[in-house]
Amino acid sequence: MIKVNDVQDVQSSDNPIIRKMSEMGHEQVVFCQDQKTGLKAIIAIHSTALGPALGGTRMWKYNNELEALNDVLRLSRGMTFKASISGLDLGGGKAVIIGDAKTEKTDDLMRRFGKFVETLSGNYITAEDVGMTTHDMEMIREETKHVTGIPQSMGGSGDPSPVTAYGVYMGMKASAMYKWGSDDLKGKKIAVQGIGNVGENLVKYLSEEGSVIYINDISKEQLNKVAAKYGATIVEGDAIYDIDMDIYAPCALGASVNDYTLSRLNCEIIAGAANNQLADEVKHGQMLMDMGIIYAPDFLINAGGLISVYSEIKGYDQKETLAKTKEIYNTTLDILRKSELEGITSHEAAKQIAQTRIEQSLSN
Ligand code: NAD
């Protein structure tokens, strides 16, 4: 997750943080500290060119503060690209709270963090991420209104996972259209790795379409449940990388497309929900291209969750949210065409489109 080089990079520079911010294009990085509650947090605003910087708050037991800094810088920049490629009027931001979510979290600490978010006057809007719960978000919300992803019972957009799954499904269908000239997934052999909140919803769409579904997870209970519900075939452990499949859908962890798996994967398309699927964006993006495997960029096709919270800010209803998410289909096609035409990886093509939109907005 955190590149050691980045950490060393920060350590070895004279003016490390400002230099890193300028290299990565960050507008603002806020370090938050409160002795009473023990809060240590970093809020990174990468860009507000297209709108307020939105991104979740992650609570994680980092080994040191530099790790936390690198993580928040990288994640906030990723949010800028995700919002831009999805055509949303949002910038990219992220926050990290340094500490063990199981043992160091208190309501007071969350409220104190909320106060810091409030000082940014809406330039940064937060949401739930790893290590955070709905209850934590409610504590933060006591101190600031700049919070999204509120439960439906409180008038918010609720769990974004079903919308994320719909977006992944759209990206997958567009990839099929590009590769095979038809987006019909009936009879296609599709392996979904990770059948949690997003993966299970994706399996639902695929089963409705008549795909041949293989599922893989570390939870036996979840595997048995989803297999029984949707008639999917269970493939345990690493064997998922060896089966004969048309589409591989990584919906568990990042970096599952790497040197080790690429020598085994027997598929024509990769389209899934996990963030940072390519262990090395440049190297593995190029390897996929050379192997003729279509790769639907993760930060584009998993943007449904962001679109869902964006809808909350804009006051869109569920129909509008799904219509906006459906656009992932056409954007995926545009990116795959650009990739082929310009001989660049699909990941690079997506990044370029995202960057162009931001540059255009800055020059207006
Ligand atoms: P989740 O925690 O509900 O589900 C993840 C599933 O993966 C779990 O069932 C877990 O048991 C399984 N898993 C973990 N390690 C595994 C392994 N090594 N092999 C196989 N299975 C494994 O998470 P989610 O909300 O469904 O998100 C899935 C992925 O999509 C994550 O990478 C997440 O960052 C990304 N994502 C989610 C959303 C969203 O709206 N939830 C939005 C964008 C991106």
Per-domain residue ranges of the chain: 2-17+26-70+94-154, 161-303+330-355
The second-level CATH assignment, the architecture, of 161-303+330-355 is 3-Layer(aba) Sandwich (3.40)
Mark whether 3 is an active-site residue.
no
Whole-angstrom distance, CA of residue 344 vs CA of residue 171: 19
**Low-confidence residues in the chain, pLDDT < 50:** 1-5, 7
Residue 151 pLDDT: 83
Q: How far is CA 213 from CA 174, 230, 245, 327, in A?
A: 18, 9, 9, 25
Query: Exposed, middle or buried: residue 107 (CB in 10 Å: 0-12, 13-18, 19+)?
Result: middle
Nearest to 313 by CA among 324, 297, 298: 324
pLDDT at 1: 37
Same fold, 2-17+26-70+94-154 and 161-303+330-355: yes
- In three-state secondary structure terms, 124 is strand
Q: Residue with the nearest Cα to atom 9 of ligand 1?
A: 196
Distance 102 CA to ligand 1 centre (A): 19
Spatial CA neighbour of 295 closest among 332, 338, 255: 332
Please tell me the predicted confidence (pLDDT) of residue 10.
52
**pLDDT of 8:** 53
Tell whether ligand 1 has an atom less than 6 A from the beta carbon of residue 194.
Answer: yes
**Distance in Å, CA 355 to ligand 1 centroid:** 27
Top CATH class, 2-17+26-70+94-154:
alpha beta
Contact 98, 34 (CB under 8 A): no
User: What is the phi/psi pair of residue 288, to 5°?
Assistant: -65, -40
**Which pLDDT score is estimated for 134?**
86
- 62 close to 40: Cβ distance less than 8 angstroms: no
Max CA distance (Å), the chain: 61
C-alpha–C-alpha distance, residues 185 and 247, integer Å: 10
Task: Name the burial class of residue 221, with classes exposed (0-12), middle (13-18) and buried (19+) by CB atoms within 10 angstroms of its CB.
Answer: exposed
Predicted TM-score (pTM) of this structure: 0.92
Which of 40, 94, 188, 189 does the annotation list as catalytic? 94
- For residue 302, the ligand 1 atom closest to its alpha carbon is 43
Q: What is the pLDDT of residue 2?
A: 40
- Cβ of 258 less than 6 Å from ligand 1: no
